[in-house]
Structure formats: structure tokens, C-alpha cells
Structure 1
């Protein structure tokens, strides 16, 4: 699978991720889904800096967080309740032989869209199916392509103040729209360094997602609106068939 983007993998950027993306009101909604589904063993795929994983661990759940970005996992491990999470470095395939019988696997944020290649997406779905118990759930969000939300992603050079008082200047540019792929580049200037991060997301159609889930043994039980981007995303609740 492709290496994680610098915004997650570069230690200079990973440590700032939570400070600059501090509106995580969606996490309580996902925590409520965990409770609604009566899940006790949860796998957070693409856990990043661990915001959701530690929130669930604080509530006494058995949680596994997996992510290929070592720098992001380093931030996650520094948080309160992180000792209640089993952290795994790697993509979802790294869970094989380590995790089984989970009640729920989740992918929040843009995680489901970073798998731009069909082969990577297939491997990920298979790996998630492999860690779930019979009747287990897979919950993930993904952006709706018809909304064309990338048209709002441009960010001019903007000064940001860090929690420690330091200053950086950030910008973001959409460099290519070749559906189903959208590529954008972020630039952060900090302490005299110019740190670039290129990202590509894949916008899968609704029917494509249903087909892929069906192929891997999931039934789509419900599709909801995203809590933090209403009207712009789908939240799939799929269950292991049989």
C-alpha cells in the first residue's frame, strides 16, 4: 500500500494535527454508534493521532488502533488513556494474526478514500472482514462525489499559531481533478523549513461501495448522513453476513 502522506507521517506536522483540526464533534457521534451497536471490542482503522481510540478506551472498551504513520501513532501513545489501546503500526493487513473476533471496525475522516488503487481497497476490506466476529459491524464514512466538495478546499497562505506560541504559514491547493481521484498539495512553512504534503483521495460512487461490501460478505444495513459534514458524506453501517 502507498506510504502515508507527510501531514501524518512527518513528526513536525503530526504533532500539530490535533491543534489545527480541533473540531472533532463527530467523535461523540461515532462513540454513540459504538454504544448503539453494543460493541465492546473495537478496531479503529487509520486511527491517526488516536482521538477516537482513546475516547473509547476511556469508556472501558477494548480498542485496537492501527495506522501506518509512525509519527501519528507517537502522538496517539502520548495521550491520556492510550495505555488502554493496543496500537499496531501498519495498514489493516497488519491486523492478521493479531486481532480476531472484534465487534466493530471503524474508519472515520478520509481513511476510506486514501485507498486509491482497487487492489489496496480489496486488501483492506478483506483484512477488516477477517478481524470481525460473525455478525460484526463495519462503519465508515466517505465523501459523496456529486457534492464536489474539493471545490472548497483551496486555502491561501494563512498564518497559524501553535500551542507553544510558535508560528507557521500553511496553504493548500487542489492540483488535479481526474475523477474518481482528486489530488491536493499542502505546504507548511515552519522554522525556516518548507514541508510539502501531497494527498490523493478516491471518490467512490454509492453503488460501487455497496457492491464492494457485498463482495466481501457485508450487508449494508443503513447509510446515514455524516455528523460533521451534513449533506456531503455517507456513513455506511454494514454487517458481516450470516
Structure 2
């Protein structure tokens, strides 16, 4: 079940405005260039930011997400007709013979159990052509991002077109490693409505991720730093074994 921040229509509509600049997108476009990818599947595409950038570069793009509200926002954007949108989770990614499957942001960390993560990787594998690639990022446990999050108690306010002023407050709710949970609370000043979204991420060590990829039929080619968040995240580039 997607978190409310993605699944609630009112929250999905203000997600982009509160998410901040997407400095990560050029790096993934560059990786697609490196890999010669002409057909890309964006898993956990959300409101479509990456999918639309990829499609704008002339690629064939499939966007997949389990949250209908987020897909509705994606479909409303300029250029959305160039993307093939699918409602569903990673485990049931369409078999589209993609050159590359991408999972950016926190997508790889929302699979909390080993079984869910394995099913997601096998779904991704089924979406790729022979020798296709999967690219995703995951936060390094050693950076201990949750300590930084715990200190971030301020409120962000944005004037969102169509919604008016919206306040967003972040709260760290639990650290039970490898799981970290947090809450976003939103207040819509136009009518005083308060909406809450709870999330949990799993922090996996690099060796654990590499072992899970091998078990799912992938060969790790590279592990890079995320250029927009050096020292904080690993970017995995792996190839389908056959």
C-alpha cells in the first residue's frame, strides 16, 4: 500500500512543490546515455519527473507506480502523452524488454522485507531485455541520515498553485535498524485541513544489496556515489545475467 504522501490525491497534487529541486535527474539521464538506453522503465515513477525528462530526450519510456493519485498528476503534465503509464508495483512491472530499469529516490528502500525486495528485483529482471541493466540508489547506513533528520524540526511552507499555502512538518518517529520511520504532517491553510503521511525505509548495507542482486540474477557492474549527495548514497548499476 503506497504511503499517503503518494496515494492521497490532495497530497500527491502538492508533492512536487514541497519536494524541492530535482538535482538528481541529470545524473540518471547521463547514466541512460552511458548505457545506450533507448527504452527505459521508471519504477516507482511517482509524479513522473524522471520519466518525463527521459522521454524528452527522445527515449521510449514506461512509467510504473502503485499510487493512482501520483500517476494522475504525472499524466496531467506537459509531455505526458509520450510516456506509457502503468499502475502497479515493482514485482509486477510490465515485461517491456527495456534496456534499463531505474528506481530513484527512496524506491529501493521501501521494500521492508527480504521477500518483498527479492520479488521486486525479480519483477525488474522480467521487465528487461537480455543483458539489460537496473540502476537504483540506496542510502548508506554508515552515514546515519536519521540523526540529521531528527534535528530537522522546522516547518516548510509553500504557496502551491491550486492549493494555496501548505505547511509541511517532518518528524522522525522510530529508529529500529535496519528500519527507520518518519511522518510528514501537512496543513492546508486555505481550509485548515491536516493530513498525515507515515513512511518506513529499510537501510541495507552494500554487501547485502550486492548479494540480493546476485540472487535475483544480476551482476553488479558499478557502485557509485550519488553526485547530488556525495557520501550519503550508493548508486548501483547492475546487469541482467541472461
TM bucket normalised to smaller: over 0.9
Contact 1:42 1:102 in 2 (8 A): yes
Shift of 1:204: 0.4
CA distance in 1, matches of 2:27, 2:100: 15
2:96 matched to 1:100? yes
Give unpaired runs (5+ residues) of structure 2: none
2:120 corresponds to: 124
How far, CA to CA, are the matches of 1:11 and 1:114 in structure 2? 20
Shift of 1:156: 2.8
Q: Match of 1:43?
A: 41
User: Of residues 67, 70, 76 in structure 1, which corresponds to 2:68?
Assistant: 70
CA distance in 2, matches of 1:239, 1:158: 40
- 2:157 matched to which residue of 1? 159
- Give the CA deviation at 1:241: 1.5
Match of 1:31 in 2: 29
Counterparts of 2:220 and 2:107, CA distance in 1: 19
Alignment of structure 1 residues 197-212 onto 2, 5 Å:
197-212=197-212
Question: Structure 1 length as normaliser, TM-score?
Answer: 0.95
Aligned length: 238
Q: How far apart, in 1, do the equivalents of 2:208 and 2:163 lie? A: 46
Structure 1 unaligned segments of length 5 or more: list them. none
Match of 2:80 among 50, 70, 82: 82
Return the offset for 1:165. 7.2
**Distance in 1 between the 2:221 and 2:77 partners?**
34
- TM-superposition CA deviations, 1:81-116 (whole Å, max 9, x none): 111111010102332xx4232110000000000001
Quote how far apart the aligned CAs of 1:233 are.
0.1
Residue 155 of structure 1, CA deviation = 2.9
Deviation, 1:189, is: 1.1
Is 2:215 the counterpart of 1:219? no
* 8 Å Cα contact 1:88-1:94 kept in structure 2: no
CA distance in 2, matches of 1:69, 1:29: 25
Partner of residue 61, structure 1: 59
Would the aligned equivalents of 2:17 and 2:158 in 1 still touch at CA under 8 Å? no
CA RMSD in angstroms, aligned pairs only:
1.3
